[in-house]
Amino acid sequence: MLIVHKYGGTSVGSLERISSVASRVAKAKNSGNDIVVVVSAMSGETNKLIEFAKHFSDNPSKREMDMLLSSGERVTSALLAIALKEVGIDAIAMTGRQAGIKTNSFHTYARIESIDPKAMQKEIDSGKVVIVAGFQGINENGAVTTLGRGGSDLSAVAIAGALKADACEIYSDVDGIYTTDPRIEPKAKKMDYISYEEMLELASLGAKVLQNRSVELAKKLKVKIVAKSSFSDAEGTVIGEENKNMEAVLVSGIALDRNQARVSLRDVSDRPGIAGEIFTKLADEQINVDMIIQNASSNGLTSLGFTVAESELARTKEIIDNFDHDIGGKSFDSDICKVSIVGIGMKSHSGVAATAFSALAEENINIEMISTSEIKVSMIIAQKYAELAVRTLHSVYKLDA
């Protein structure tokens, strides 16, 4: 089997940790697999380099930031190759360029355009463990680019896709994806398997493990991800394609997003296009609107509610104030949160949402907004009920069973 391993910053955060990773990789190689390893910079290193740059400029050149930041992953990859050779495993460190990773030219948030796996494949075929500096590639002019947040995960998934690897194991300090946040519900269980679609909807549960961009890419390239801990030998969670067994499971997990604020607009002129104008203006300012509800119009007036990230509420308020002549009344509330139940099984089962509504009602939790998709039901509730709601839903769907 050909397995891609990816180790994040905390997994390679010290020389001792790199030794530990070398042992893990050596064991995987010695059990007969071909191994490609993608590494992040040692934790703290990237932040240190950013601080260095900020010493000189509040807005440093992005092209130069990429040359600066890409150095951290190179250091880790070289050190891991040296550590592996010392334990008798032949290994070769490769930069993004040497691994054949071509990106577009959007420095600091480039997208991978293609991977030519020939150079990696040649080293794999000669029996070597290939260690690739994550987070980086080169553009058509040969300039170094970086992939932005979660970039090493993207490198790993893209490389696994290009090499048609059997799996892409993403190592972090968390041993998998849980049915909900264990800090809120200690009975939360680690999932054995979850579909790409569910993982995308449960983003907040996977936030410390891998980002949505990587899951989307894995889905597109049909790369099987295994989220594991580099600090234990626990099994981890497989993230892969939907399968038949999954439909038997109504709900896979409960996600909580506290970083939400609600905007309520009453008595909005029901002239055509007013909602469009408001949301266009928000989009122009890069403010991401999550849930939107609009009530049926009466008397030529309508009411409009939506949520934005709590951190963007102030900017949102400024924009809304410009529409005062079209809006009768408005309120802003950041004391709310979003609780979501996610599960592939919902597709073919009715009544899943009703169960949630009843369960929350029994606890006297008022649902302020609802939005549903094929595999998710999200509810806005008062912030103070966040933990109670998560535990109630976790229990009613028997996720602790």
Cross-strand partners of 308: 261, 289
Residue closer to a second copy (CB basis): 84 or 369 = 84
Check: CB of residue 212 under 8 Å from CB of residue 198.
Answer: no
Q: Does 251 bind a second copy (CB under 8 A)?
A: no
Shortest separation between residue 44's beta carbon and a second copy, angstroms? 14
Interface with a second copy (CB under 8 A), residue from 50, 75, 200, 309: 75
- Give buried/exposed letters for 141-158 (b at 16+ CB in 10 A, else e): eebbbbbbebbbbbbbbb
**Subset of 14-33 contacting a second copy (CB under 8 A):** 15, 18-19, 22
Interface with a second copy (CB under 8 A), residue from 26, 35, 93, 386: 93
Residue closer to a second copy (CB basis): 71 or 395 = 71
Residue closer to a second copy (CB basis): 68 or 265 = 68
Of 171, 168, 164, 189, nearest to 179 (Cα)? Answer: 189
Shortest separation between residue 169's beta carbon and a second copy, angstroms? 22
Stretch that binds a second copy, among 26-34, 92-100, 186-194, 351-359 (CB under 8 A): 92-100
Contacts of 59 (CB under 8 A, 6+ apart): none
Q: Does 74 bind a second copy (CB under 8 A)?
A: yes
Binding-site size for a second copy (CB under 8 A) equals 38
Left, alpha or beta for 141 (phi > 0: left; psi -120 to 50: alpha)? alpha
Q: Does 81 bind a second copy (CB under 8 A)?
A: yes
Please report, as a single letter, which amino acid is at residue 146.
T
Check: CB of residue 303 under 8 Å from CB of residue 265.
Answer: yes
CB-count exposure of residue 299 (10 Å: 0-12, 13-18, 19+): exposed
Q: Does 50 bind a second copy (CB under 8 A)?
A: no
* Cα(17)–Cα(87) distance, integer angstroms: 15
- Compute CA distances 92 → 121, 124, 166, 382, whole Å: 12, 10, 21, 53
Residue closer to a second copy (CB basis): 131 or 256 = 131
Stretch that binds a second copy, among 87-95, 208-216, 332-340, 371-379 (CB under 8 A): 87-95
Shortest separation between residue 276's beta carbon and a second copy, angstroms? 40
Shortest separation between residue 8's beta carbon and a second copy, angstroms? 19
- Compute CA distances 11 → 41, 115, 145, 149, 258, whole Å: 10, 25, 23, 17, 28
Token representation of residue 257: 């997003």
Handedness of CA 53, 74, 211, 394 (dihedral sign): negative
Interface with a second copy (CB under 8 A), residue from 56, 183, 348, 401: 56
Q: Does 86 bind a second copy (CB under 8 A)?
A: yes
- Could you list the beta-strand ranges (E) of 53-90: none
Compose the 140-179 pattern: x for residues touching a second copy by CB under 8 A, - for all others.
Answer: --xxx-----------------------------------
Stretch that binds a second copy, among 68-76, 153-161, 287-295, 342-350 (CB under 8 A): 68-76
Shortest separation between residue 144's beta carbon and a second copy, angstroms? 7
Residue closer to a second copy (CB basis): 58 or 374 = 58
Q: Does 110 bind a second copy (CB under 8 A)?
A: no
Stretch that binds a second copy, among 66-74, 333-341, 346-354, 378-386 (CB under 8 A): 66-74
Shortest separation between residue 17's beta carbon and a second copy, angstroms? 12
Token representation of residue 35: 């191994």
- Compute CA distances 378 → 47, 196, 247, 312, whole Å: 35, 18, 20, 20
Write out the residues near a second copy by the rule CB under 8 A.
Answer: 15, 18-19, 22, 49, 52-53, 55-57, 60-61, 63-65, 67-68, 70-72, 74-75, 77-79, 81-83, 85-86, 92-93, 95, 97-98, 142-144
